[in-house]
Homo-oligomer: A and B are copies of this chain.
Amino acid sequence: MGDPKSVDLPARLVAAALSALERGEDIGLRAVARDAGVSAMAPYRHFRDKAALLAAVAMRGFVDLKTALLAADAQRDARAALIAQGEAYLAFARARPALFRLMFSGHDCGPPPVEDNAYGVMVRRVRQLAPADPDAATLACWSAVHGMATLALDGGLPPGDARLEHAALSLVVAGLAPPDPG
């Protein structure tokens, strides 16, 4: 993991932290540094403190999330695309729970850059679907999707009942605009 010392240390550190996260371990700065092949104090040359490293990891997570949302959005029908985005969001949270939690732990500096990344993908579709009061529609949609993901992780959502989740997402999307008028 930390063998190729030729690549820059910040990237190696982020990669090591990410892989520790995916492995389910709680990341410690010392362990990350060791996995990256450097001493415990080396990360401080590139990150102000542990929180800054975690913020960098979270950034990476937001990039991946945006990619997933973009892929799910590649559909003709706006309504279906929006629902698919929601399902992709949920799948992302379930596939990488620790990373997802980190992304929305708020310990990082200020609000997460959701607006410039994943957020925008969903906002476009919502605006297209609900031109009247698009801000409220966006907030409703984003809240439902994000809430479902966090409930799946830390709330009490029983298992991954795909049919139920699809139905719930459909309900929300249907509420944004009249479902299928002539």
Contacts and interface: CB of A to CB of B under 8 A. Distances in A.
B156 A112 contact: yes
Interface residues of A, number: 42
Interface in A129-161: 133, 135-137, 139-140, 142-151, 153-157
Nearest to A148: B143
Interface string A160-173: 00001101111111
Closest 5 CB pairs of A and B: A175-B175, A147-B147, A106-B154, A111-B156, A136-B167
A95 interface: no
A165 B133 CA distance: 12
B143 A151 contact: yes
Contacts of A167: 133, 135-136, 139
Copies in the complex: 2
A104 interface: yes
A169 B151 CA distance: 18
A135 B148 CA distance: 13
B156 A144 contact: no
Contacts of A165: 139
B150 A146 contact: yes
Nearest to A179: B175
Contacts of A154: 104-106, 112
A71 B164 CA distance: 29
Contacts of A173: 175
Nearest to A119: B156
